[in-house]
């Protein structure tokens, strides 16, 4: 019998949006969360040796034949994924012998009740772990990735549907507001990260994660966590060895320049060329616009700042749109959260980094940017457009 896909309505940036259970299953399948120092809800030390085989078609647990360690003792069995611990009993798994091999119950959200235990039909207690506090980005950003993939696919015509007089008016009115919402979200998540580790380690993890793009973010984050910035600073890591240490790289169809091994080599080169680069980022002065001047790249000093970022801090080890993506997705949100200052204007008017082609095309059709030197593409406009498209995708 085919598995039924469940979903949960979750409050988000653009209103309530629908999270399908397979998104949570995908997070587990790719181990796309902080896997360091894991503990179950009852306090046992947890290590995931193998996440198991994703069961997408048959009735029964979501992952088969997983291997975990609990307090360094190894167990083999199945993994079940739910939004909340209550679903175990609501779905009658406690009466179903097909779930007697479950060795770990994974939930997205913590239970509202302080303690909900999970038992098999034979009365064995199953340890539990909550994913939400371990996620490397907000839940809505995971959903955005799914929406972007759908929007960018050949079968998606959503951006075309949005190009109508009514949608143009709505989009132009909302673009900066939606960009502001996305900025606040990125800043908020950066602040959350800074509560878990010192600035340099947070920056190191975020930078490597961004170098993994969407497909290889998880293994890059694991490398950053298991090999902190001090190891790179002391040059005791080998990019080639680190690449070989991970087995879950996704490289099919990837541009050679974006290959994770190439990115790891570039990152090692950065540390070699400029060992103090993270300290320089931490102390970078972000110019403020004078209130009497119009906001643009010139009045915000963006051209000069971008040159410092590319040539002095990054020591020209990176090029293309990636230098802008790293600045707007990593540097500015973390610096803003760390220093307690708002850098929205700089973030908004900064040149765009890596954005899907369909998004640039959509913005150009709106006439708001991309049609002349006077209205160049900017990060903020494309961020607002992305928020608008995702808002429509998630609520339609």
Q: What is the pLDDT of residue 166?
A: 58
* Nearest Cα to Cα of residue 380 among 357, 359, 394: 359
Report yes or no: 85 and 111 within 8 Å, Cβ to Cβ.
Answer: yes
Owner of token pair 């997070």: 27
Element (H, E) at 387: helix 379-395
Report yes or no: 4 and 21 within 8 Å, Cβ to Cβ.
Answer: no
Q: Chain centroid to CA 243: how far?
A: 20
- Between CA 367 and CA 177 the distance in angstroms is 18
- Between CA 218 and CA 210 the distance in angstroms is 10
The region, left, alpha or beta by phi > 0 then psi within -120 to 50, assigned to residue 108 is: alpha
CA distances from 142 to 18, 33, 46, 147 (A): 12, 11, 24, 9
Q: Chain centroid to CA 213: how far?
A: 9
Q: What is the pLDDT of residue 396?
A: 45
* Nearest Cα to Cα of residue 204 among 191, 183, 223: 223
CA diameter of the chain: 73
End-to-end CA distance of the chain: 29
* Nearest Cα to Cα of residue 66 among 56, 96, 57, 55: 55
- In the chain, which residues have pLDDT < 70? 1-19, 112-114, 140, 143-170, 292, 391-396
**pTM, whole model, 2 decimals?**
0.72
Report yes or no: 38 and 69 within 8 Å, Cβ to Cβ.
Answer: no
* Nearest Cα to Cα of residue 136 among 145, 148, 127, 128: 145
- Between CA 326 and CA 71 the distance in angstroms is 38
Q: Chain centroid to CA 125: how far?
A: 33
Burial environment of residue 366 by CB neighbours within 10 A (0 to 12, 13 to 18, 19 or more): buried
Strand partners, 17: 10
Q: What is the pLDDT of residue 35?
A: 85
| Angle subtended by helix axes 199-211 and 165-194, to nearest 10 | 140
CA distances from 221 to 68, 182, 194, 210, 286 (A): 20, 22, 15, 9, 27
Using alpha carbons only, give the angle 101, 104, 105 rounded to the nearest 5 degrees: 110
Report yes or no: 243 and 219 within 8 Å, Cβ to Cβ.
Answer: no
- Between CA 322 and CA 213 the distance in angstroms is 10
- Between CA 345 and CA 290 the distance in angstroms is 12
Q: What is the pLDDT of residue 19?
A: 67
Please, what sign has the CA dihedral across residues 152, 157, 162, 164?
positive
Please, what sign has the CA dihedral across residues 137, 141, 146, 152?
negative
Using alpha carbons only, give the angle 133, 139, 86 rounded to the nearest 5 degrees: 65
């Amino acid at each position: 019998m085919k598995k039924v896909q469940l979903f949960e309505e979750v409050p988000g940036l653009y209103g309530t949006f629908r999270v399908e259970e397979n998104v949570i299953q995908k997070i587990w399948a790719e181990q796309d969360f902080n896997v360091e120092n894991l503990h179950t809800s009852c306090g046992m030390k947890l290590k995931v040796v193998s996440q198991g085989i994703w069961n997408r078609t048959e009735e029964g647990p979501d992952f088969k034949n997983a291997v975990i360690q609990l307090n360094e003792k190894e167990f083999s069995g199945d993994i079940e994924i739910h939004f909340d611990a209550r679903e175990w009993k609501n779905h009658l798994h406690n009466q179903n012998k097909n779930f007697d091999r479950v060795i770990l119950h994974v939930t997205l959200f913590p239970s509202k009740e302080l303690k909900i235990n999970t038992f098999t039909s034979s009365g064995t207690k199953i340890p539990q772990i909550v994913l939400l506090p371990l996620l490397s980005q907000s839940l809505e950003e995971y959903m955005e990735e799914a929406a972007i993939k759908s929007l960018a696919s050949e079968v998606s015509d959503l951006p075309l549907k949005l190009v109508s007089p009514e949608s143009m008016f709505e989009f132009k009115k909302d673009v900066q507001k939606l960009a502001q919402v996305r900025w606040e979200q990125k800043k908020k998540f950066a602040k959350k990260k800074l509560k878990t580790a010192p600035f340099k380690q947070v920056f190191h993890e975020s930078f490597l994660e961004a170098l993994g793009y969407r497909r290889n973010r998880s293994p890059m984050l694991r490398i950053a966590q298991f090999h902190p910035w001090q190891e790179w600073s002391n040059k005791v890591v080998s990019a080639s060895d680190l690449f070989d240490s991970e087995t879950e790289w996704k490289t099919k169809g990837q541009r050679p320049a974006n290959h994770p091994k190439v990115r790891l080599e570039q990152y090692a080169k950065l540390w070699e060329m400029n060992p103090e680069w993270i300290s320089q980022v931490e102390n970078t002065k972000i110019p403020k616009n004078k209130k009497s001047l119009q906001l643009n790249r010139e009045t915000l000093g963006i051209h000069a700042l971008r040159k410092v970022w590319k040539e002095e801090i990054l020591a020209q080890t990176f090029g293309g749109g990636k230098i802008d993506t790293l600045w707007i997705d990593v540097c500015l949100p973390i610096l803003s959260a760390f220093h307690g200052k708002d850098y929205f204007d700089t973030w908004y008017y900064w040149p765009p980094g890596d954005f899907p082609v369909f998004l640039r095309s959509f913005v150009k059709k709106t006439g708001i940017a991309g049609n002349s030197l006077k209205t160049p593409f900017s990060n903020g406009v494309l961020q607002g457009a992305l928020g608008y498209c995702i808002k429509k995708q998630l609520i339609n």
